[in-house]
Structure formats: structure tokens, C-alpha cells
Amino acid sequence: MTERRKDLLALALLLAVLIGAFSHILFTDKIIRAPDILNEHYWAVKDLHSIRFFDIFRIDLSSAGWSIFFNSGDTTEGGGASMQFLFYHRLIYWLIPSPANVAWFIVFHLFFGAVGTFLYCRAIGAGRAAAFLGGLIFACATENASLINAGHVLKIATISYAPLAFYFLEKGFQGRRLFFFLATAFTLAFQFFNYHWQIAFYTCLAIGIYGILRSLGIIFAERERSGKGIGRLLLLNLATLCFFLTTVAISLLPLASWSVETNRGAQSGANQGKGGLQIDEAMSWSLPPEELATFVIPGFFGLSRQEGGENPSNIASYYWGRMHFTQTADYMGLLPWLLLPLPLIFRRDRYTWLGLLAVAGGITFSMGKYSIFYQFLFDYFPGINRFRVPKMMMFIPVFGLGVLAARGVDILLDKECRADRKFRYYLLSLVALPLLLLLLVGIELAGKERWIGSFYDMLSQPTRYEQGPQLIAQRWNNIVSETGIAAVVAAVYAAVFVVSARSRRMLKALPFLLLFLYLADVGRVNAKFMFLVDVPQKSKGIKTPVIEYLSRQPKEYRVLPLSADPNQYATNGIPVMFTSMPVQQRRWQEILDIFSFNSALPDMLNVKYLVYDANQYQQEKAQLGDKYVPVFTSPDGSEVVVENRRVLPKAWLVPSVLPVSDRQQGLAILQNPSFDPRAIALVESPAPIPMPAPNMQPPVAVGGVAVTHYEGDKISFTANPAQNAILVVGEKFYKGWRATVDGKDADIYPVDHVLRGIYLTAGSHAVEMRFDPLPFKVGKYLTLASFAFFAMVVGRELYLWRKRVKGER
């Protein structure tokens, strides 16, 4: 059997092991109990099982995409269109029935990450068994696997591409072949297409550091200092960068344009005027230094939280550390930490130092506000301040640990290393660890009252889900028990290492024993994050009576649910005014901050219906006045639909404008209940045509407007102003929209801070608006050109490979 076939067999075995390790969530008719899955992801993919097979591979790049159903109009300027290239996503959901297809999707990507780690380990000289363990660590380490509990499906998918990118880049440096450098860029682009930009950004950051250090290592360590050699290295690195930028352009250019006007963009005024997040928010999920203890004692600060419901009985204490909350655990298994010293002792080469940098650098970065290093990057390195959750970098230390552990296994199996005196010292340190942990248990038991008194404030700190004096005993008992379990695990590992060093038979079985012990170790912790629940009733296609009622209303009007998740309405084709998103357009966020039911804002935004819980409606009924009238009550009486009787049509003509250059002044006017958007339109620049002076009297009839076409990317009107007027449309102003009046290009102006306006002269006009942002068009053609170029490169590689195989025969 060839070496390549042996590697493929090892990968097939790796897949089988992962299926066994995650069988609990794979072979079931239940669904993962994670809010992000139950409320969002599941509903986005559940119907893919019923589409036609050929529709899986259909790609439509004709439109940048503007959804009328979410958040009063939502877009990323086409930045998400690239997900269509990931047709294998749809294939998984098509092949496997719901709800288990979500879990299979997750496990497939964990396997994909394991494959990349395996290939990288093999590329740097690791044995097959060692590389197998390295891949298993990446897929099963609780730091990655517990993301299942959080329901971060696309985050897991994005993480899975990182090891493969490192593999291709290393192959490129080893052979100085352009193909592998381009494959690195191509992999990074597809990682970006998975829609988790923070993970993609962190991967690119790590890849950039790897490329720089690897290049410097080649220049100095291998003494390739000729101008030709250095120039080639520089060109290969530049080719990687340029090809990545062109391949990812369909996402990167629209998102770069979209992000500028968001509450994290350069114009947001946050972060001392530099844009991005405020420093407190950006660092709110930093890894506290004391939680480094969880690398050895996984449940030291508790595990999981109650967000999706009560935790199962195998969790003795919920998370109570210094982060706001966490849905994951930092544990990576004890084994990789036990193996890590071996390459540092016996193989201090470039791969060991790079792996150590990944571990130490990634952990230091993840510590965020507790690390001077991260604070420096936040202040001076472009892009860092756009993201929160520094701890999200932890997938890089997991990869580095997997690589170092693989090298450690090879050293364990190396006869010369085992005969070295330093190896005996290493074994002694392994024996010392469980003894130290047992000593810690003794100290905890003997000094219980003293320790509890010293850390009373931390131990008694309530959470959103738990309060009361019982927390102290619960948390303390959990610390003691978890420390004891860690001591037992460390003792078992120490015994296996010591015995295998003295027994040939045991040594042959060592890789299998380590595999079994690692799966048992992390499996115990991972089991605390694999919650399953019955599929919600609504997944069977049942719509609530309120949704049925609102589905029959015209799509030009919006709904504001106050009693349920707005996404449930939006996914049923009902336009909603607001959906919660971490990043909002700046103008829109400012409107949300001043929104009031008694102002004209609901009328201007076409909010015709409010959905109340019945009890809440009774409490707020008096405040709503006669403007809002109940029009529908659910049969069980639990929900009430209230209609806004003063809602404005989708578009209306306004006879006069008031230029307001000061943003805060304009917002204050909009807040005023006496402001009438039919009489005056607030604009930010002088009108290009003569307009009457503002008149605070009730508006006179200035003509009618009829909507002739209304869908996501196109809106058409016929307007008949009796005098010069401004056509105001109850849709968000956004720079990607283009307009024509009677077939000629026309400018769209921001009106009333957040709406669109077009100036019209007296007479009859045909008005059309289309969403057609330039960055998407440019990015689309750059990406397609990159695909075509890479296809030619791959074709050439295949041709040379076949030629080489024939030559060998």
C-alpha cells in the first residue's frame, strides 16, 4: 500500500472516530439546544432538504441583495453572496434529513479541520499516528467542540479552514511552488465566504505572521540570501496576498464599503474618533488570567449556562468567572499539555518554535484587556478594534497544541530520545503533576473556611440565572471535585507514560492508549455541552394565528413584534421593523435610540402593526392612546395585534424642505410629537430645485403617489406632484441605491435622517429605484476572474501530475 493510501485510510479512520465521539448529536431525532440554532440557523436551512438536486449548485450573482423583511431593509451590499459558492453546505443539508443535518454539518467541519491539521503535521515530518492525534485534538478539544453548545455553526465552519491554509502555505515554503501559495489564498478566501469575518481576520493575521517568520527563517537559517532567492520569496508572498484579495473581492469590497457607515465604522465616532468599538465593549470577552487553570482543571469556574434551559444533572455548577458569561469551555485536554515539553526538550527547530508561538501568542491575545500586548494591537493595528471577543483567537492555540502534541508522540516512540537522561526527568515531572494536584485537593479540603473567606466575593457573585447563598457551597464543592478528577486523569496519563517507557509491548500500544485516554478525557467535558431537546413545534410548519393574520397584509407595511422573536416573522415573509444585530448602520442606530411610539417615526417607517403579549398590552394600553387600535387577538388570547391608524403610505409627496446640517438637531425634531413628515421633510443640503418655504400648517394636497412595483432590489412609483415637491420613501437611505425619473438618472437624498427622497418637478413622473452598489459589481468580476485563473493553475498541476505518474511507470 502506498503512503498516500495509508494517509487516506488514516483519515477515513479519523472520520469514523469523530462520528463515534459525536454520535450523541448525530443519530437522533432531536435538535441541539442552542438559542442560535433553535431561533436562527435551523430555520434558515431546514427547507433545503426539499429543494431539487440541481438547485443545490445554482448560483445567482445578478443582485447584491436587499431584504425587505429584516430590520426595515437589510443588506451587506452583496457581501454574503459568496456563500453561494459553498454549495457543499446545501448538499449536506439536502442529503441528511433535519434536524440531525445541523449536527452533521458541524461534525463534518470539525473533521475538515482535523484533516488540515493531519496534513500539516505530515508535511512537517510527523508520523501517521502522531498526525492522527494532532487532528483529533483540533476536532475534539473542548475549546472548539463546545462551540456546539453556543450554536455557533458558521463559526465552527470558518475555523475548520485554518489548518488547511497553514498546510498549503507550509507546502509552498517547502517547495517554493506558486501553486501552493495560491492554494493558501484560495483557502483563506473560502474561509471568508463562510460569513464569520472575525475568525477569518484572525486566521489571516496568524497566516501573515507565519509567512513572515517562515520567510525570515529561510533567508537566515537556510542562508538563501541571494537577490534571486529573496526576490522569489517576496514575490510568492505578494502573490498570496494579491490573489487572496482578488478571490475574496466579491465579499471584501462590499463589506468594506458597508462597514464604513456602521456603528463600528470609521465614521462612527467611537474609539476616540478612529471608529470601531469602544474599548470596554471590544474587550468584554477577554480570557481572565486565573482561568488559565481550566487548561488543567476544566470545571474550575463551572461550566455552561442556563440560557437555553436548565442544565443537565452532569453539571454541578454554572460558569461564574469574570466574563459576562460563556457558552464554551477553554479545556483542550490534558494530553497535549503533557506532550508539549517533549519537542521543547528534544526538537527545538522552527516548527516547534512556530507551534509554541501559536499557543503562547494566541493565549496572550485571547486575554484581551488583561494583556498589554492586545491593548497595543487594539490601539495601533488596523482592524483589531472592529471586533469584540478577543478570546475568539483560541482556535489558533488549539491548532498549535495539536501540532506540538503530534511531535511529542513521535518523540515518545523514538528509541534514542527515550534513552536520554532528559527523558527520565520528563517522566518524573509527569509523576509530579498528579501529586501536586492531590496536594491541592488536600489544601482545598483542609483550608476550606479560609479559602472561602478569602474568595467570598467571587464565590457568592450572582449571575443572571442563579442567586442565593447556596452558590458558595455549590461552587466550592465543584472546585474540589474537578481538581480531584484532574488529579486522577493526570495520574492515569503518568502511569501509561512510565509503563510504556519500560515495556516494548506497551510502547507499541501507546498511540492507541493515548487516543483512548484523550477521547475519554475531553469526552467527559464535551458531554456537558451536547444538550439535545425536542424539535420545536413550529418546525413542523405550523404558523401561529398572529403570523397567519399578518401574512395576509400588504408587504409595503412593517410589523414590530414586542412579544416574540422578530426573526420568526421575517422568515415567514413578514417585513419587520427591527431585528437585533451586533452591527447596525449608524443612521439607523441613531433612529433606534430615539424611537418612540408617540412620535412620527413609526408612521414614517411604515410600522402599521405592533404585536403585544396580552398582559403587556393591558399595561401599556393607556399610553398608546387612540393612535393604536387592536385589530386581532389570537384564539387563546395570549397575543394582540394593534394597528397604527396614522401610518404613512410607502411613499408620499412633501411640499417643503427644511435643511438641517446638525445631526442632533434633526434627531430632536424627529422626536417631537408635533413634527408632521407630510408637511416638512428634513434634508441635509439645500434643495436643487425651487421649493416653498417650510410651512407648519397642515399639509395641502400636493399630488398622489402609487407604488407599481415593490420587492427587495427594485421599487417603482408613479407620482403626480401638483408643484415642485420631494418624494419621500419609507425605506432606509443607503448609498447603493440608484434612481431614475422618467428614464433619466436622478439623485437620492437622505430625508428625515434615515429615509430616501427624490426631488420632482410638477407633472406626471415614473420613478424607479434599484439597488445596484458598485463595490459588489467590481468584486464579483474580480472573484470570477480569480476562479478562472486558479482553475487553469489547477489544470496545469493535474497535467504535470499525470505526466509524472506516467513517467514513473
Is 694 domain-assigned?
yes
Q: Are residues 566 and 581 in the same domain?
A: yes
What would the mean pLDDT of 667-679 be, rounded to a whole number?
93
Is 603 domain-assigned?
yes
Q: Are residues 662 and 737 in the same domain?
A: yes
What would the mean pLDDT of 60-77 be, rounded to a whole number?
93
Is 316 domain-assigned?
no
Q: Is residue 580 packed enough to be buried (19+ CB in 10 Å), middle (13-18) or exposed (0-12)?
A: exposed
What would the mean pLDDT of 229-238 be, rounded to a whole number?
90
Q: Are residues 613 and 675 in the same domain?
A: no
Number of separate domains in the chain: 2
Residues in the chain: 809
Distance of CA 648 to the CA centre of its chain: 37
What would the mean pLDDT of 91-105 be, rounded to a whole number?
92
- Structural domain including 682 reads 651-772
CA distance 539 to 773: 36
Which whole-number Å values give the CA distances from 680 to 36, 472, 573, 765, in the listed order? 43, 61, 33, 21
Q: Are residues 630 and 671 in the same domain?
A: no
CA distance 309 to 306: 5
Q: Check whether the bond before 554 is cis (ω within 30° of 0).
A: no
- Which residues, at least 6 apart from 86, have a Cβ–Cβ distance to it below 8 Å? 190, 193, 194
Per-residue pLDDT tens digits for 338-363: 999 999 999 999 999 999 999 999 99
Output the pLDDT for position 540.
Answer: 39
> Last residue of a domain, which of 600, 623, 644?
644
Q: Are residues 705 and 637 in the same domain?
A: no
What would the mean pLDDT of 34-61 be, rounded to a whole number?
85
Q: Give residue 272's pLDDT band: very low, low, confident or very high (50, 70, 90).
A: low
Is 278 domain-assigned?
no
H-helix or E-strand spanning residue 769:
strand 765-771
CA distance 307 to 311: 9
Give the SS3 label for residue 626.
Answer: helix
Output the pLDDT for position 226.
Answer: 66
CA distance 107 to 203: 20
Percent of the chain with pLDDT over 90: 71
Q: Are residues 658 and 629 in the same domain?
A: no
Q: Are residues 685 and 637 in the same domain?
A: no
Is 655 domain-assigned?
yes
Q: Are residues 667 and 612 in the same domain?
A: no
What would the mean pLDDT of 216-243 be, rounded to a whole number?
84
Is 559 domain-assigned?
yes
Q: Are residues 662 and 763 in the same domain?
A: yes
What would the mean pLDDT of 518-538 be, rounded to a whole number?
88
Q: Give residue 270's pLDDT band: very low, low, confident or very high (50, 70, 90).
A: low
CA distance 545 to 760: 43
Is 323 domain-assigned?
no
Q: Comparing 542 with 490, which gets the higher pLDDT?
A: 490
Q: Give residue 541's pLDDT band: very low, low, confident or very high (50, 70, 90).
A: very low
Q: Are residues 768 and 669 in the same domain?
A: yes
Least confident of 33-37, 125-129, 137-141, 371-375: 33-37
Per-residue pLDDT tens digits for 745-785: 999 999 999 999 999 999 999 999 999 999 999 999 999 99
Q: Comparing 720 with 150, which gets the higher pLDDT?
A: 720
CA distance 178 to 180: 6
Give the SS3 label for residue 337.
Answer: helix
Is 684 domain-assigned?
yes
> Last residue of a domain, which of 607, 626, 644?
644
Give the SS3 label for residue 611.
Answer: strand
Q: Give residue 469's pLDDT band: very low, low, confident or very high (50, 70, 90).
A: confident
- Which residues, at least 6 apart from 786, have a Cβ–Cβ distance to it below 8 Å? 189, 243, 246, 247, 249
CATH number where 748 lies:
2.60.40
Q: Are residues 676 and 750 in the same domain?
A: yes
Q: Are residues 576 and 656 in the same domain?
A: no
